Amino acid sequence: MAIEELETTIKEALKELNIKDINEGTSTGMNNFSSGEILESYSPVDGKLIGKVKTTTAADYKKVMESANEAFNQFRLIPAPKRGEMVRQFGEKLRKNKEALGKLVSYEMGKSLQEGYGEVQEMIDICDFAVGLSRQLHGLTMHSERPGHRMYEQYHSLGVVGIISAFNFPVAVWAWNTALAWVCGDVCVWKPSEKTPLCAVACQNIMAEVIKENNLPEGISCLITGDYKIGELLTNDKRIPLISATGSTRMGKIVAQVVAGRFGKSLLELGGNNAIIVTPDADLEMTIIGAVFGAVGTAGQRCTTTRRLIIHESIYDKVKEALVSAYKQLRIGNPLDEKNHVGPLIDKQAVELYNEALKKVVAQGGKILVEGGVLFGEGYESGCYVKPAIAEADNSFEIVQHETFAPVLYLLKYSGTVENAIAIQNDVAQGLSSAIMTNNLREAELFLSVAGSDCGIANVNIGTSGAEIGGAFGGEKETGGGRESGSDAWKIYMRRQTNTINYGVGVALSQGIKFHL
Chain segment 475-501, per-residue pLDDT in tens: 999 999 999 999 999 999 999 999 999
Region class of 344: left (phi > 0), else alpha (psi between -120 and 50), else beta: beta
Q: How far apart are CA 159 and CA 253, in angstroms?
A: 23
For domain 274-470, the CATH class is alpha beta
Cα radius of gyration rounded to whole Å, the chain: 25
* C-alpha distance from residue 420 to each of 143, 278, 291, 429, 447 (Å): 47, 12, 20, 17, 11
**What's the pLDDT score for residue 29?**
46
* Long-range contacts (CB closer than 8 Å, 24 or more residues apart) made by 126-129: 126/172, 126/175, 126/176, 126/179, 126/180, 126/469, 126/485, 127/87, 127/88, 127/90, 127/91, 127/94, 127/175, 127/179, 128/88, 128/91, 129/179, 129/469, 129/470, 129/485, 129/486
Does the CA dihedral 109-34-56-60 come out positive or negative?
Answer: negative
Of the options 3.90.180.10, 3.40.605.10, 1.10.4080.10, 3.30.360.10, the CATH number for the domain spanning 3-270+480-496: 3.40.605.10
Helix (H) or strand (E) holding 296: helix 284-296
Question: Is the distance from CB of 234 to CB of 62 less than 8 angstroms?
Answer: no
Q: What is the pLDDT along the chain (517 residues), one digit of tens a residue?
A: 566 678 788 889 898 998 875 544 555 544 455 778 999 999 999 999 999 999 999 999 999 999 999 999 999 999 999 999 999 999 999 999 999 999 999 999 999 999 999 999 999 999 999 999 999 999 999 999 999 999 999 999 999 999 999 999 999 999 999 999 999 999 999 999 999 999 999 999 999 999 999 999 999 999 999 999 999 999 999 999 999 999 999 999 999 999 999 999 999 999 999 999 999 999 999 999 999 999 999 999 999 999 999 999 999 999 999 999 999 999 999 999 999 999 999 999 999 999 999 999 999 999 999 999 999 999 999 999 999 999 999 999 999 999 999 999 999 999 999 999 999 999 999 999 999 999 999 999 999 999 999 999 999 999 999 889 999 999 999 999 999 999 999 999 999 999 999 999 988 888 888 888 8
**What's the pLDDT score for residue 28?**
52
**What's the pLDDT score for residue 486?**
95
Helix (H, G, I), strand (E, B) or coil at 42: strand
Catalytic residue set = 269, 303
Query: What residue segments make up the domains of the chain, in order of their start?
Result: 3-270+480-496, 274-470
